[in-house]
Amino acid sequence: CEVLVRELGLEELPTEKEMFANARLIAAAPDLLAMLKMLVDVFGEAAVLPEDRVIIQAARNTIAAAEGT
């Protein structure tokens, strides 16, 4: 088990609580991505302030990373 942990680059195996939290996050990922896309579609063109444009661009980058593009 220790060899596997080292091969994965982990210091220790996740706890049961962490594993369930990760599972919930993975399960919610498609909905989170869809919502982020919707927010960018609705508010992307309305971003006028520089800080708003930075946030929208960060959201677009996150979408691209999630889609592997």
Cβ atoms of residues 47 and 55 within 8 Å:
yes
Whether 59 shows a pLDDT value over 90: the answer reads yes
> Residue 51 CA to chain centroid, in angstroms?
20
Q: Which pLDDT score is estimated for 63?
A: 98
What pLDDT digit, counting tens, does each position of 18-40 carry?
999 999 999 999 999 999 999 99
pTM of the model: 0.75
Given a contact cutoff of 8 angstroms between Cβ atoms, the answer to whether 13 and 43 are in contact is no
Q: What is each CA distance from 64 to 37, 38, 58, 60, in whole angstroms? A: 10, 14, 10, 6
Give the integer Cα–Cα distance in Å for 60 and 54.
10
pLDDT band at 1 (very low <50, low <70, confident <90, very high): low
- State residue 38's pLDDT score: 97
Predicted pLDDT of residue 13: 80
